């Protein structure tokens, strides 16, 4: 029997992340809103650990509630906070991205259309964000879409990528131009579905590991069932009901909520029951190394123990001269104990040197054990698990290293996301790899670090864009300065702080405020994923100079300021850096002021009193007069007398002709004069 395993097996990022939340310490009791994942084995395990699933938030009064990766309706989150519960939001970032899109588009008057299952908790949560008005579709019938002026189409993250693409194609074909389409299917889901289709075309039977409640698992079974016979199994014991044939090619795929324990059990069951004899025979052929023939360095051999002491183990390998395994070469973990090695015990060893030293041939058991450990690792990486490899040397077109008895080849195109031309710097370095191909007959593995880097970059991108929401505070490092702003790196992504969003007050250079290489907190102002642009603000997190000034100088306080400008109606005085107030001409002195320029000039320092503050308009009314001593009564009387005794200039009157004598008012004050001047008076 031939067994083919999909590369992507085990929990997806969102499920793994939600389970990690359950491992932390929270105020008890601890609950999950709904089953954390659609897998009864995991749910039961959580219950055994005291973490129970609830369907109604009203059923609990205290403690912690963990929101599952599917998310929750908005009213549930609101109610949980109203009840004072400790809410831990483990919603998958991919789901959060969909929720954000729906919230924004619904607020802008769009009809929300969701491709998915109406009863799925993710869809219910998303629908709550548009007040449960969404049109939910699970087929390609788009009749209702044409009736709406503006439509926003999203998809359940675990929906069928192929069906969604058919819908997109149909929208384009039907010319529905008012539909905005967002492909919100998780890229991990898309990869698993594509892989399941390819694998099932090569197999007679496919085992789909997962729970019957899991939407993405059922979708995988549906895809596999189109090309082969597909079986849904949650545990290895369910395999007994399946009739396998000797010549079958059996594929193994797993849903995103399938635990590693179930996957491992199924794989081991298949290998132990259907491939064990073949594997054992093959391993014996590889490991059986005879002692006849010419000795050479590095030859793997079988020897028998004749004696053991603190210095090491004496062995017989069919030659006239004994062999010896030094204590340091006896055990992989350096836990050598002579008592563990009895006379006649057979050991796998490697010959360190073909030349005898002090009448003994030197062997190492430790190196063989390391090789065997490497071979065990090979079995664990068949399903796409990440493994580490120390690069031993370069060769034409890539890098080479050893993993047990296997030679690992990393093509130059698979080292980084961009092609690597100079391979020398990688020699001796440790790479993180995933297998692309394993040839057991040739003991050869082709591996890639590029696949891991691309996957991690995509995960970081999804998380980044799911969390970079206007109003969110982020921490970033200033990478560079330009004439129009500062470039800031946030989680490896370049963002811009425009020069107008750096400070409230004027400054000579950006470096005065933001220094390259240092980290600061910023607030997200705008985020456009399609254009790949994020705008940040720094000044928005700083206190406005006006607010700081009025805190320090409330109404009634006095301050010495500098005159910054003069207007006919008064003078502007700077009471704090970048903050000015107005001294009206009537408040400029304790004596009558006709021309403000007679009292102040720009640059003068003047003591003023805060009379009034308008926070909304950011205006401050000042008085210099209030800070001056009152004039004596005699001086007041003299000034008043001078003011009254000053003769008033006579008003000039125009000479009025006799024929116009009815209009004796001054023409300059008579608005009707010009209107009637051409009318003949009879």
Q: How far apart are CA 44 and CA 634, in angstroms?
A: 97
pLDDT in tens, 12-22: 778 888 888 88
Q: Which residue has the tokens 């490896």?
A: 492
CA atoms within 13 A of residue 208's CA, in its CB half-sphere? 28
For 278-286, the CB contacts below 8 A with 24+ separation are: 282/440, 286/405, 286/443
Average pLDDT, the chain: 83
Say whether the peptide bond before residue 298 is cis (omega within 30 degrees of 0).
no
Q: Which residue has the tokens 């002491």?
A: 309
Q: Per DSSP, what are the bridge partners of residue 308?
A: 313
Q: How far apart are CA 574 and CA 553, in angstroms?
A: 12
Q: Quick one: pLDDT at residue 177?
A: 63
The percent helix, strand, coil of the chain (3-state, each to 5) is: 35, 30, 40
Of 10, 3, 38, 5, which is closest to residue 261 (Cα–Cα)?
10
Encoded tokens for 128: 């709550």
Q: How far apart are CA 14 and CA 93, in angstroms?
A: 7
Q: How far apart are CA 226 and CA 653, in angstroms?
A: 107
Integer CA distances (angstroms), 210 to 100, 130, 232, 396, 490, in order: 29, 32, 7, 43, 37
Q: How confident is the model at residue 681 (pLDDT cuts 50, 70, 90)?
A: very low
Q: Is the pLDDT of residue 670 over 70?
A: no
Collapsing DSSP to helix, strand or coil, 543 comes out as coil
Burial letters for 279-289: b for 16+ Cβ neighbours within 10 Å, e otherwise? eeeeeeeeeee
Domains, the chain, in order of start with CATH, read: 300-371 (2.40.50.140), 381-454 (2.40.50.140), 468-541 (2.40.50.140), 545-627 (2.40.50.140)
**Burial tier of 111 (Cβ tally within 10 Å: 0-12, 13-18, 19+):** buried
pLDDT in tens, 594-652: 888 888 899 999 999 999 988 888 889 999 888 988 777 666 555 555 555 555 555 55
Phi/psi for 502 (5° steps) reads: -90, -40
Q: How far apart are CA 446 and CA 273, in angstroms?
A: 28
Q: Per DSSP, what are the bridge partners of residue 179?
A: 151
148 compared with 582, residue with greater pLDDT: 582
Of 174-188, 272-286, 638-652, the range with the lowest mean pLDDT is 272-286
Q: How far apart are CA 325 and CA 353, in angstroms?
A: 12
Q: How far apart are CA 667 and CA 191, in angstroms?
A: 91
Q: Quick one: pLDDT at residue 292?
A: 35
Burial letters for 623-645: b for 16+ Cβ neighbours within 10 Å, e otherwise? bbbebeeeeeeeeeeeeeeeeee
Q: With both helix axes pointing from N to C terminus, report the angle between 187-200 and 215-225 in degrees, rounded to the nearest 10.
A: 30
pLDDT in tens, 472-499: 999 999 999 988 899 999 988 899 999 9
504 compared with 292, residue with greater pLDDT: 504
Of 244-248, 290-294, 344-348, the range with the lowest mean pLDDT is 290-294
Q: Quick one: pLDDT at residue 519?
A: 93
Q: Quick one: pLDDT at residue 621?
A: 92
pLDDT in tens, 47-71: 888 888 888 988 888 999 999 889 9
Residues 505-517: what's their mean pLDDT? 89
Q: Is the pLDDT of residue 431 over 80?
A: yes
Of 178-182, 219-223, 511-515, 667-671, the range with the lowest mean pLDDT is 667-671
Instruction: Report the catalytic residues.
Output: 122
363 dihedral zone (left: phi>0; alpha: psi -120 to 50; beta): beta
Q: How far apart are CA 30 and CA 27, in angstroms?
A: 7
**Burial tier of 539 (Cβ tally within 10 Å: 0-12, 13-18, 19+):** middle
Q: Which helix (H) or strand (E) segment is 170 a member of?
A: helix 161-174
Q: What angle do CA 137, 141, 144 make, to 5 degrees?
A: 80
Whether 69 contacts 37, CB under 8 Å: yes
Q: How far apart are CA 53 and CA 29, in angstroms?
A: 11
Q: How far apart are CA 157 and CA 86, in angstroms?
A: 27
Of 618, 622, 580, which is closest to residue 602 (Cα–Cα)?
580
Whether 493 contacts 479, CB under 8 Å: no
Cβ atoms within 10 Å of 335's Cβ, excluding its own? 8
Share of the chain above pLDDT 90, in %: 30
Would you say the C-alpha torsion 586, 589, 593, 599 has a positive or negative sign? negative
Residues 138-149: what's their mean pLDDT? 77
Encoded tokens for 193: 């579905």
Q: With both helix axes pointing from N to C terminus, report the angle between 74-82 and 121-128 in degrees, rounded to the nearest 10.
A: 80
Q: Quick one: pLDDT at residue 449?
A: 94
344 dihedral zone (left: phi>0; alpha: psi -120 to 50; beta): left
Q: How far apart are CA 62 and CA 54, in angstroms?
A: 13
Q: What angle do CA 299, 300, 304 make, to 5 degrees?
A: 120
Q: How far apart are CA 100 and CA 106, in angstroms?
A: 10
Of 58-62, 157-161, 442-446, 656-660, the range with the lowest mean pLDDT is 656-660
Q: Quick one: pLDDT at residue 646?
A: 52
Collapsing DSSP to helix, strand or coil, 205 comes out as strand
Q: What is the DSSP string of 465-499?
A: HHH--TT-EEEEEEEEEETTEEEEEETTEEEEEEG
Of 424, 523, 421, which is closest to residue 472 (Cα–Cα)?
523
Q: Quick one: pLDDT at residue 467?
A: 86
Q: Quick one: pLDDT at residue 648?
A: 55
Whether 679 contacts 673, CB under 8 Å: no
Q: Quick one: pLDDT at residue 290?
A: 32
Phi/psi for 403 (5° steps) reads: -130, 95
Q: Is the pLDDT of residue 377 over 50?
A: yes
Q: Which residue has the tokens 């003011």?
A: 643
Q: Quick one: pLDDT at residue 277?
A: 35
Residues 409-421: what's their mean pLDDT? 89
* Nearest-10 Cα torsion for 580, 583, 589, 591: 170
Q: Is the pLDDT of residue 8 over 90?
A: no
Whether 558 contacts 609, CB under 8 Å: yes
pLDDT in tens, 78-121: 999 999 999 999 898 889 999 999 999 999 999 999 999 998 99
């Amino acid at each position: 029997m031939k067994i083919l395993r999909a590369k992507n097996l085990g929990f997806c990022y969102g499920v793994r992340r939600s389970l990690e939340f359950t491992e932390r310490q929270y105020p008890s009791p601890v609950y999950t809103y709904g089953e954390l994942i659609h897998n009864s084995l995991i749910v039961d395990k959580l219950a055994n650990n005291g973490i129970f699933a609830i369907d109604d938030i009203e059923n609990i009064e205290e403690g912690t509630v963990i929101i599952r990766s599917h998310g929750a309706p908005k009213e549930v989150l609101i109610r949980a906070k109203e009840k004072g519960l400790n809410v831990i939001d483990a919603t998958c970032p991919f789901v959060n991205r969909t929720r954000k899109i729906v919230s924004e588009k619904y607020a802008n008057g769009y009809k929300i259309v969701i491709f998915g299952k109406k009863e799925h908790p993710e869809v219910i949560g998303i629908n709550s964000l548009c007040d449960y008005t969404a049109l939910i579709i699970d087929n390609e019938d788009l009749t209702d879409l044409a009736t709406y002026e503006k439509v926003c189409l999203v998809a359940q993250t675990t929906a069928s990528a192929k069906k969604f693409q058919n819908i997109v194609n149909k929208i384009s074909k039907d010319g529905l131009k008012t539909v905005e389409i967002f492909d919100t299917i998780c890229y991990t889901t898309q990869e698993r579905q594509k892989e399941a289709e390819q694998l099932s075309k090569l197999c007679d039977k496919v085992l789909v590991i997962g729970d019957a409640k899991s939407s993405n698992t059922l979708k995988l079974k549906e895809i596999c069932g189109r090309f082969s016979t597909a079986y849904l199994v949650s545990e290895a014991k369910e395999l007994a009901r399946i009739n396998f044939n000797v010549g079958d090619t059996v594929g193994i795929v797993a849903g995103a909520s399938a635990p590693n324990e179930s996957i491992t059990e199924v794989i081991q069951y298949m290998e132990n029951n259907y491939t064990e004899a073949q594997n054992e025979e093959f391993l014996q052929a590889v490991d059986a190394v005879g002692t006849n023939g010419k000795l050479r360095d590095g030859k793997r051999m079988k020897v028998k123990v004749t004696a053991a002491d603190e210095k090491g183990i004496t062995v017989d390998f069919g030659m006239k001269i004994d062999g010896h395994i030094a204590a340091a070469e006896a055990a992989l973990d350096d836990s050598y104990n002579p008592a563990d090695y009895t006379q006649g015990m057979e050991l796998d060893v490697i010959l360190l040197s073909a030349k005898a030293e002090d009448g003994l041939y030197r062997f190492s058991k430790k190196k063989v054990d390391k090789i065997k450990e490497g071979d065990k690792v090979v079995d664990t990486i068949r399903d796409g698990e990440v493994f580490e490899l120390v690069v031993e040397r370069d060769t034409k077109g890539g890098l080479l290293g050893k993993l047990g008895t296997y030679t690992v080849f990393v093509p130059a195109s698979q080292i980084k996301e961009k092609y690597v031309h100079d391979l020398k710097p990688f020699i001796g370095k440790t790479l993180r790899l995933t297998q692309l191909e394993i040839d057991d007959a040739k003991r050869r593995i082709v591996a890639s670090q590029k696949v891991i880097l691309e996957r991690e970059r995509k995960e970081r991108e999804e998380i980044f864009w799911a969390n970079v929401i206007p109003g969110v505070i982020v921490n970033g490092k200033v990478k560079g300065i330009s004439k129009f702003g500062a470039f800031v790196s946030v989680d490896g992504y370049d963002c811009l702080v425009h020069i107008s969003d750096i400070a409230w007050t004027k400054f000579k250079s950006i470096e005065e405020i933001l220094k390259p290489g240092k980290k600061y907190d910023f607030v997200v102002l705008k985020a456009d994923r399609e254009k790949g642009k994020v705008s940040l603000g720094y000044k928005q997190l700083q206190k406005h100079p006006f607010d700081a000034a009025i805190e320090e100088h409330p109404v009634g306080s006095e301050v010495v300021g500098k005159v910054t400008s003069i207007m006919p109606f008064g003078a502007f005085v700077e009471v704090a850096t970048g903050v000015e107030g107005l001294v009206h001409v009537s408040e400029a002195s304790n004596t009558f002021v006709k021309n403000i320029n007679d009292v102040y000039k720009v640059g003068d320092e003047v003591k003023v009193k805060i009379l009034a503050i308008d926070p909304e308009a950011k205006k401050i009314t000042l008085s210099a007069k209030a800070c001056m001593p009152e004039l004596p009564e005699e001086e007041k009387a003299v000034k008043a007398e001078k003011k009254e005794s000053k003769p008033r200039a006579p008003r000039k009157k125009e000479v009025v002709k006799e024929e116009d004598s009815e209009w004796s008012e001054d023409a300059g004050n008579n608005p009707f004069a010009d209107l009637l001047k051409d009318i003949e008076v009879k």
